């Protein structure tokens, strides 16, 4: 029987969340990836990304996706791998906790993952995606640097045994996915984490 769980991957824009999530999906039969870009494209781009109206719309869209994942017959049998960008501010904390709450409401395991990467490598990864980045968020490589200087990615905290933080600066996506997979299997089986 397949274990149903929610895996939540958080990190700065263009750090590699979706690429790692797709590799992780290969390791979890019966899993589905729901990425940040799919959700954010459902939010009307009429307001700045840090405006209360935008945040409210993003929360609404995220809630709709989480409700569908929890309530549709087909989706209830899936392990969901979510990717998102949540910062260590009130809106980011609430957004991250929405995923956790959705898992706990369903009575399934929640696995938060934070992907980290050195700033210049993150900017290099933005590379070809810069046109899309500008269209979606209205930013450039300099904007990404500014975000990284001004904002920290949300973390559930050092005391959360389920959370895994990985520096993927020099790591291939399949290697990062394997680390996440091994962490979930190790901690989920009751072994002591390192």
CATH number of the domain residue 137 falls in: 3.40.50.300
Question: Is residue 33 in a domain?
Answer: yes
Question: Is residue 18 in a domain?
Answer: yes
Question: Is residue 183 in a domain?
Answer: no
pLDDT string in tens for the chain (194-residue length): 467 899 999 999 999 999 999 999 999 998 999 888 887 777 877 888 778 888 888 888 888 888 887 777 777 788 999 999 999 999 999 999 999 999 998 899 999 999 999 999 999 888 756 455 445 554 688 889 999 999 999 999 866 788 999 999 999 999 999 999 999 999 987 654 33
β-bridge partners, 153:
87
Question: Is residue 154 in a domain?
Answer: yes
Domain count, the chain: 1
State pTM to two decimals. 0.87
Residues whose CB is less than 8 angstroms from the CB of residue 52 and which lie 6 or more positions away in sequence, other chains included? none
Place of tokens 């901690």: 187
Domain limits at 77?
5-176
């Amino acid at each position: 029987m397949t274990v149903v769980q929610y895996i939540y991957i958080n990190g700065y824009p263009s750090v590699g969340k979706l690429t790692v999530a797709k590799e992780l999906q290969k390791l979890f039969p019966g899993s589905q990836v729901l990425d940040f870009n799919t959700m954010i494209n459902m939010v009307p781009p009429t307001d700045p990304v840090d405006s209360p109206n935008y945040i409210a719309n993003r929360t609404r869209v995220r809630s709709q996706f989480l409700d569908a994942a929890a309530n549709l017959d087909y989706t209830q049998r899936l392990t969901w791998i979510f990717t998102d960008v949540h910062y260590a501010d009130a809106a980011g904390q609430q957004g991250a906790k929405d995923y956790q709450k959705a898992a706990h409401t369903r009575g399934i395991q929640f696995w938060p993952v934070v992907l980290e990467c050195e700033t210049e490598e993150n900017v290099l990864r933005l590379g070809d995606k810069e046109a899309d980045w500008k269209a979606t968020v209205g930013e450039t490589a300099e904007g990404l640097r500014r975000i990284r200087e001004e904002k920290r990615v949300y973390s559930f905290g050092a005391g959360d045994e389920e959370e895994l933080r990985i520096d993927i600066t020099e790591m291939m996506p399949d290697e990062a996915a394997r680390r996440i997979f091994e962490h979930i299997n190790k901690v989920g089986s009751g072994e002591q984490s390192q």
